[in-house]
Structure 1
Amino acid sequence: MAITRLTQRKCKAVCFYILSWVIATLLTSLLFQYGSGKGIDPSRLLFMLQLSLFSGLSHAIYDVMILQDEMDKRPVAAALLIRSCFFLASICANLTLCILIWKIDKSEGLINEASLKQVIQFFKEPSSHILIFSLFLLGHLITFVRSVHKKFGTRVFINTLLGKYQDPKEEDLIFMFIDMKHSTEIAEELGHVTYSNFIRDYYRLLSNCCEENHGEIYQIAGDGVFLTWKTKDCHRRARPLECFHDFAECLARTKGKFIKRYGICPAFKAAAHCGKVISTEVGNFGSEMAYHGDVLNTTSRIQTLCSKLGQDFLISEDLFAKLPLPLPHGFLCVKAGFFELRGKKNGILIFSLHQPLT
């Protein structure tokens, strides 16, 4: 049985938390032992490794299983308080479990008088209080790093840390512009507050589909959003098409929930194009990634043809030539014709994509 992309995404998140805890805990432990001048204690490192594995798993259970790897919808103060209480409780529980395992007695089992005395003595020592506080701060730091990583995406996050985009860099990228259908009418019908919740739920599903297909959200503007992929990463798998298919399926599965909550289910149309762009980080305070080039304008203008042609998904000839065949999910590609787009000197061949009825 194949593992779904949702399961893969959650497994990646679990691995992130466990590896982050292991690396950070072991490095901190090594630094403290080195600073003490007593040398490296292998048994203490082994204890800290065991503790970091339990802590990483506990953190993953809270964020991936309980919160479903999504934003905490509670007020910030309440979310921070609950998370802090969870960290303190899980750290103390993990420390207790590690000590019990460390002091396990073959004849008396996991819990015995000696191990319980060791646990009580451990929590009385000032050095243990410092350790608990350090692990508490570490938990919040890992949560912060994960939040920033989710906001910017893996590629942009790592490249920003490395300073890769401080100078303009030419890249070959695929852009897909997704636009919600009848957004103005929906906004008027629902009102500003309800529509804000409606579009938040819509973008939550879209961002999940984008992440599961290794894409990145470049820009959200009202009811439209630009997704992007490296062209070379799509030579073997047509990830933009897979993302379109997954998002359509996701909206179909959640149609009942949208209708129950808002009385309407969202629908969308999309266009995709590829080409060379200049990638750079712009701004000083509140800087962000920017892509400069004709590709984005062309993509958005192709998308405007969707309504004119009565199609939901259009792509350019340039992109079609770079996609692997056969196309995934039974997509059928049909020539829609040559079109002169505003700002373009020459006409561009457009293809419409359809999926056979099932």
Structure 2
Amino acid sequence: MVMKTKKRFVLWDSIIILVLFAISVYLFYLAAAWGISDYLADNAYRDYVTGPGVHWENLILSLSFGLLLAVVNAWSDTPRVRRLPVGSIIVLKSLLYLLSFAFACTCVMLVFRLFLFSPEELASIIGSTTPKFLISASLWLTMCILMINFIMEVRRKVGPGNLSALFTGYYRHPRMQDRIFLFLDLKASTTIAERLGPEKYSRFLRQCYYDLNEVVLDYRAQIYQFVGDEVVLSWKNQVRDTPLQSLRAFFDFKEKLSSRKALYEKKYGVVPLFRGGIDAGVVTATEVGDIKREIAYHGDPLNTAARLLELSKTYGDRLVISGKMKDEISNAAEFIFDYQGEIQPRGKTEKVAIYTVRNDKLGSLS
């Protein structure tokens, strides 16, 4: 299931890039009068530019280029590449995109040769290419690829779905949303930090978060915040099985860390163990900040989930959920819920029922 979700994520990225690239190609034909003026003046390209050939070129170029992008994106999404600085990723992917574009151009020429133009016509078109056109096309292509890569990396930084919301100002006015929040916290983080030292501890946390990424993709979660050794995941509570998925995400993350026990012991001498707290409810989503903007959530579910995370230490570092979350979960035969009583969070008049959650397939990890 993880691989299918990752492929879907990469495919969606490729579709976005393909659309952006197709738009950029059309913009080139509309805006690059300086580059094509020579052809229009001597009629060498008049029939081609004003006829169906230019549209066939854009279609073939975009489709073949898009397929290659899927391959490049799949490769660049590996942990080894994602660990590179953002600038290095942009440059590396841009170079690979240029190579892919050269291959796509070869595909265009092949289709032209087989279906659209005679050898003489194709030779005339290629032979009449001027340095002015090559310069304008190369500059436009380079800028488009760099800009597309920049947009895609910014999209990753703010999270899928948030970039368009920030551009359009969707959250400039507060919006009410029903959401689920999972707070994750590293057990014995202070002890581990003292043992490893600042630099190695930072690498340790990064490794944990890279392992978390696959779980996030698999369960379509949104990473709301990284706060030191704490991570907050969130879901829109619009589908019936979303509460159940949030529980599965927690235990699958623990299982993934357990499966990589040998790696963590070899590199860091310690295996990470995360505890969690989950609550659900209506929150306010709004855009905050000016110099640095982000989408923030405010409401009782976040405060309650944070309190449940603190309580997880009392209950053997397990997952602790609210009674409201328990009531929203159906068909949860894989989980065991243990009622632990009620608490009254600070500032609230109503008490909150709490449950610890176990998953027998993980044995002692749960």
The TM-score normalised by the length of structure 2 is 0.84
> In the alignment, does 2:61 pair up with 1:51?
yes
Look up the SS of the partner of 2:321 in the other structure: strand
- Structure with more contact order per residue of length (Cα contacts < 8 Å, sep ≥ 6): 2
Q: Report the counterpart of residue 21 of structure 1 in structure 2.
A: 18
Aligned partner letter, 2:18: W
**Residues 118 and 187 (structure 1), Cα distance of their counterparts in 2 relative to 1, 3 Å cut:** farther
Matched, 1:162 2:168: yes
Q: CA deviation at 1:344?
A: 3.0
The amino acid that maps onto 2:169 is G
Matches within 5 A, 1:68-217: 68=78, 72-74=82-84, 78-104=88-114, 121=127, 125-217=131-223
Alignment CA distance shift 1:218-1:82 (3 Å): closer
Contact 1:273 1:316 in 2 (8 A): yes
In the alignment, does 2:327 pair up with 1:340? Answer: no
CA contact (8 A) 1:33 1:41 kept: no
Q: Go from structure 1 to structure 2 and tell me whether the alpha carbon gap of 1:28 and 1:357 turns closer, same or farther (over 3 Å shift).
A: closer
Once residues 79 and 31 of structure 1 are traced to their aligned partners in structure 2, the CA distance between those partners, rounded to angstroms, is: 26
- Structure 1 residue 342: deviation in Å? 3.2
Alpha carbons of 1:230 and 1:76: their partners in 2 closer, same or farther (altered >3 Å)? closer
Contact 1:99 1:119 survives alignment (8 Å): no
Aligned residue runs from structure 1 range 278-317, under 5 A: 278-317=284-323
The residue type paired with residue 176 of structure 1 is L
**Cα displacement string for residues 268-309 of structure 1 (whole angstroms, at most 9, x for unaligned residues):** 100100112111111111112111222211111111111112
Structure 1 unaligned spans of 5+: 106-111
My pick for the range that moved more, 16-25 or 263-272, is 16-25
Q: Which moved more, 1:116-125 or 1:286-295?
A: 116-125
Aligned mates of 1:211, 1:218 — CA distance in 2: 14
Judge which range, 150-159 or 118-127, deviates more.
118-127
Q: 1:156, CA displacement in angstroms?
A: 2.3
Change beyond 3 A, Cα 1:181–1:279: same
1:208 counterpart SS class:
helix
The whole-number CA distance in structure 1 between the counterparts of 2:56 and 2:325 is: 52
- Aligned partner of 1:356: which letter? D
After TM superposition, what 4+ stretches of structure 1 lie above 6 angstroms from structure 2? 34-39, 112-116
Q: How far, CA to CA, are the matches of 1:179 and 1:75 in structure 2?
A: 26
How far, CA to CA, are the matches of 1:30 and 1:79 in structure 2? 26
Deviations 1:172-228 (A, max 9, x none): 211110101111111111100000000011112223312321111111111111111
My pick for the range that moved more, 121-130 or 150-159, is 121-130
**Cα RMSD over matched residues?**
3.0
CA offset at residue 81 of structure 1?
A: 4.4
Q: Determine what percentage of the aligned residue pairs are the same residue.
A: 28
Q: Which range moved further: 163-172 or 228-237?
A: 228-237
Checking the alignment, whether the CA contact within 8 Å between 2:235 and 2:242 is kept in structure 1 is: no
Q: Identify the residue that residue 326 of structure 1 maps to in structure 2.
A: 331
* 1:271 equivalent in structure 2: 277
Q: Secondary structure at the match of 1:238?
A: helix
Once the two structures are TM-superposed, the CA of residue 56 in structure 1 deviates from its matched residue by: 2.2
Q: Is the 8 A contact 1:214 1:239 kept in 2?
A: no
Residue 25 of structure 1 and its aligned partner are, at CA, apart by: 1.7
Within 1, Cα distance between the matches of 2:266 and 2:302?
36
CA 82–224 in structure 1, closer or farther in 2 if over 3 Å, else same: closer
Quote the Cα distance in structure 2 between the aligned partners of 1:331 and 1:128.
Answer: 63
- May I ask how many residue pairs the two structures share in their alignment? 348
* Distance change >3 Å, CA 255–CA 120, structure 1 → 2: farther
CA distance, structure 1, for counterparts of residue 73 and residue 307 of structure 2: 39
Residue in structure 2 matched with residue 261 of structure 1 by the alignment: 267
Q: 1:50 to 1:70 in 2, by over 3 A?
A: farther
What are the superposed Cα offsets for residues 54-110 of structure 1, whole Å, 9 maximum, x if unpaired?
2222233223224428864345665454444333333223212321232138xxxxx
**What's the secondary structure of 2:170's corresponding residue?**
coil
Counterpart amino acid of 2:29?
Answer: F
Q: Distance in 2 between matches of 1:218 and 1:312?
A: 21
* TM-score, normalised by the number of residues in structure 1: 0.86
